[in-house]
């Protein structure tokens, strides 16, 4: 499985959202970027689960979880005042669950029930994403993504 980390795009979009607008518009924009990240994590995890389990699988799993767990903690840190305490706490808990799942898979092996726990974390991310507004493109966010 080819894995492409989207962290820089998400972080750039969140920085752009935090730098423009105020209040509710800013909150919705940041939440939209978080939704994109959570949805993509769930998709990437499910794609990984379809792959054969071998050393390459573990390496890819590490990259996927490292990317998204760090992204979630970074988002929780920089956007905490905008997204609110409840969502902030849930993002921290989700990131912690991602890391814990990776550690368990390394220590205990790539087998059930350890994979089921990691599947549950991906499902949690997907469910949380569904609670958040969809991301709408803004000129500032597009400029950040394109590097202009």
pLDDT tens for residues 66-110? 999 999 999 999 999 999 999 999 999 999 999 999 999 889 888
Contact criterion met (CB below 8 Å) for 20 and 140: yes
What total number of domains does the chain contain? Answer: 1
Q: Indicate the pTM of the whole model.
A: 0.85
Cα–Cα distance, 71 to 75 (Å, whole number): 6
Cα–Cα distance, 68 to 7 (Å, whole number): 7
- Domain enclosing residue 78, as ranges: 7-132
Residue 2 lies in a domain: no
Residue 145 lies in a domain: no
Residue 115 lies in a domain: yes
Tens of pLDDT along 107-129?
A: 988 888 889 999 999 999 999 99
């Amino acid at each position: 499985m080819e894995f492409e980390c989207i962290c820089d795009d998400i972080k750039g979009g969140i920085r752009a959202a935090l730098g423009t607008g105020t209040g509710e518009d800013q909150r919705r924009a940041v939440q939209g970027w978080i939704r994109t990240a959570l949805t993509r994590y769930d998709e990437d995890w499910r794609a990984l689960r379809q792959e054969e389990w071998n050393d390459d699988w573990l390496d890819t799993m590490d990259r996927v979880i490292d990317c998204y767990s760090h992204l979630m903690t970074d988002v929780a840190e920089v956007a905490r005042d905008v997204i609110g305490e409840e969502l902030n706490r849930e993002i921290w808990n989700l990131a912690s669950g991602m890391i814990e799942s990776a550690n368990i898979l390394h220590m205990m092996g790539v087998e059930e029930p350890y994979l089921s726990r990691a599947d549950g974390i991906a499902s949690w991310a997907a469910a949380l994403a569904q609670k958040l507004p969809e991301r709408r493109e803004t000129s500032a966010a597009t400029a950040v993504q394109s590097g202009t």
